[in-house]
C-alpha cells in the first residue's frame, strides 16, 4: 500500500528581533530560493510571501519530510544565500521557533490569497498581532514572553 496524505501547512517565521531587513527589491529571489528548496524535498508549494520582518509559506509536505527538519533547512539554506549574495545587508538571521498551522484543502484558495496579500494586510496589522491571531484561531496556548521581538 502507498502512503496518502493531505496536510496543508502555513509556516510562519520572523527575522531575528523582527527587524525589518528583508527589503522588497530582493524578496522575490529569496522566495524563489525557498520554493526551489521545498520542491527538492518533494513538497507541493502553493505560495511563499511575506514582508520586511517575516515569511509565510503555504505548502503540502511530502510524507517523508519532518516539519521541524524542513523549517530548519528553510532557515539555514537561505541564510547562506542572503550572506553570500548580500541580498539583505542588515539581515542578522531568523528568530528561534516558528508557527505551523494546518488547514483543510477547502481553505486552500482563501489561504493562498491571504498570504499573497501580505503587504496590504500588514498596512493595518503588525506581525505580532497577526501571529497571536493565528495562535488563537488554531487553539494554540502560548506564553507572551516568547512573542517579544527580542526572543
Domain borders along the chain are 8-147
The pTM (predicted TM-score) of the whole model is 0.90
Percent helix, strand and coil across the chain, each to the nearest 5: 45, 20, 35
Domain spanning 8-147: which superfamily? Transposase IS200-like (3.30.70.1290)
Residue ranges of the chain with per-residue pLDDT less than 70: 149-151
Residue 149's pLDDT is 63
Residues 89 and 71: their CA atoms lie apart, in Å, by 23
Residue 90's pLDDT is 95
CA 127 to chain CA centroid, Å, is 12
Residue 147's pLDDT is 78
Residue 151's pLDDT is 46
Amino acid at each position: 500500500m502507498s502512503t496518502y496524505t493531505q496536510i496543508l501547512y502555513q509556516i510562519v517565521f520572523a527575522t531575528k528581533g523582527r527587524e525589518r531587513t528583508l527589503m522588497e527589491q530582493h524578496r522575490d529571489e529569496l522566495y524563489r530560493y525557498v520554493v526551489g528548496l521545498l520542491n527538492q524535498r518533494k513538497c507541493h508549494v502553493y505560495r511563499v510571501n511575506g514582508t520586511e520582518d517575516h515569511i509565510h509559506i503555504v505548502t503540502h509536505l511530502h510524507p517523508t519530510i519532518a516539519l521541524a527538519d524542513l523549517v530548519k533547512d528553510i532557515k539555514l539554506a537561505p541564510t547562506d544565500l542572503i550572506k553570500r549574495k548580500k541580498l539583505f545587508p542588515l539581515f542578522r538571521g531568523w528568530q528561534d521557533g516558528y508557527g505551523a498551522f494546518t488547514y483543510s484543502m477547502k481553505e486552500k484558495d482563501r489561504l493562498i490569497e491571504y498570504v499573497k496579500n501580505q503587504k496590504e494586510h500588514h498596512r493595518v496589522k503588525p506581525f505580532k498581532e497577526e501571529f497571536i491571531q493565528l495562535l488563537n484561531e488554531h487553539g494554540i496556548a502560548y506564553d507572551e514572553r516568547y512573542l517579544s521581538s527580542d526572543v
